[in-house]
Amino acid sequence: MTESTHETGRGGRTGVRSARGARSREEIVDAAYTLFARHGYRGARMAEVAKAVGMTEPALIYHFGNKLGLLKAVVERRNQLSEAAGRRLVELGGLAALSELPAIAAHYSRQPDLIKLFYVLMAENLDQGSPAHEFFVDRYRTLRADIAELIAIGQRRGEIRPDVDPGLKAVEILGILDGISGQWLLDPDAADYLAAIESYGKSLLSDLTTERPAEGSAG
pLDDT in tens, 105-145: 887 788 787 788 888 888 888 999 888 888 889 889 988 99
CB 86 within 8 A of CB 152: no
Distance CA 7, CA 10 (A): 5
What does the longest C-alpha to C-alpha distance in the chain come to? 95
CA distance from start to end of the chain: 94
Classify the phi-psi angles of 129: left when phi > 0, otherwise alpha if psi is within -120 to 50, otherwise beta: left
Average pLDDT over the chain, rounded to an integer: 83
pLDDT at 213: 55
Asked if pLDDT for residue 14 goes beyond 60, the answer is no
CA distances from 104 to 80, 83, 204 (A): 15, 12, 15
Please, which pLDDT band fits residue 26 given cuts at 50, 70 and 90?
confident
Q: Output the pLDDT for position 13.
A: 56
- What pLDDT sits at residue 4? 45
| CATH top-level class of 75-212 | mainly alpha
Domain 1-65 = CATH 3.40.50.300: no
- Give pTM, 2 decimals: 0.74
The residue extents of the domains of the chain are: 1-65, 75-212
- Axis-axis angle for helices 3-43, 67-92 (nearest 10): 90
- Tens of pLDDT, residues 54-99: 998 888 888 888 888 888 888 887 777 667 667 778 788 999 999 9
Averaged pLDDT, 12-40: 76
75-212 matches 1-65 in CATH topology: no
Give the pLDDT score at 141.
93
Average pLDDT over residues 33-57: 86
Confidence of residue 212 (pLDDT cuts 50, 70, 90): low
